[in-house]
Amino acid sequence: MTKSEFIEQFHHLRVPHVEPDFPLSKSGRPAAVLIPLVDYGNELQVILTERAHHLKHHPGQISFPGGAVEASDKNLFNTALREAEEEIGLPPTNVEVIGMLPSYRTVSGYSIAPVVGFIDPNYTPCIDVNEVESAFEVPLAHLLNRKNHLVHTTHRRNRAFPIYFIPWQDKMIWGATAALIRNLSHHIHP
């Protein structure tokens, strides 16, 4: 899929299917992530990070660059761009933001806004080792192909909830990150 094909599918008027998220009893703590798409001309790749192994919450988990909204953030776009710069050294000027997917609520109490943007292929990650173990790319085509998505159902408060998994090489993308990818897949390929 090329950049122009992606944009054509992303900016449509239909209402896509959205995966069920965790029903919070109050508003979730606002957060934002960047879904960074690297444009190689004939192919798009997605930058993902492996969280540092020493972190208290979600050590080693695969995620998008992102985090909680801070008082200095003007909006959710600024949050996603600030976090990407802090975590992987991605300057906001190197991101062409094209939009946002619907927010996704997590069991940990966050309401995550997924911001989608294109990254210049000449960008080289400069990771913050306090937050990130590594950064790597995955072909967008692999992530969007729902045949690569595994679904496990769990129960919480007498309700069934799906947990998504997307294997990639020696890594397992799962949880909120996989659910956000799945929502992007529904958005691009209804």
For Cα atoms 180, 80, 99, give the angle at the middle one, nearest 5 degrees: 65
Residue 13: the pLDDT is 66
Q: What's the pTM value of the predicted model, to 2 decimals?
A: 0.90
pLDDT of residue 156: 76
* First CA to last CA distance, the chain: 15
- The first and second tokens of residue 38, run together, are 């690297």
Those residues with Cβ within 8 angstroms of residue 9's Cβ, 6 or more apart along the chain or in another chain: 187, 188, 189
pLDDT of residue 59: 67
Q: For the chain, where are the E strands, in sequence order? A: 29-39, 44-51, 62-63, 66-68, 95-100, 104-105, 110-119, 132-139, 150-156, 159-168, 171-174
Q: How far apart are CA 102 and CA 121, in angstroms?
A: 27
What domains sit in the chain, N to C, each tagged with a CATH number?
3-142 (3.90.79.10)
Residue 5 has phi, psi (to 5 degrees) of -65, -40
Q: Between the CA of residue 163 and those of 84, 130, 143, 148, 182, what are the distances in Å? A: 25, 28, 16, 14, 11
Give me the residue label for tokens 């995966």. Answer: 19
Please give the structure tokens belonging to residue 161: 């909830």
Which residue ranges in the chain fall short of pLDDT 50? none
- State both tokens at 19: 């995966």
pLDDT for the residue 98: 96
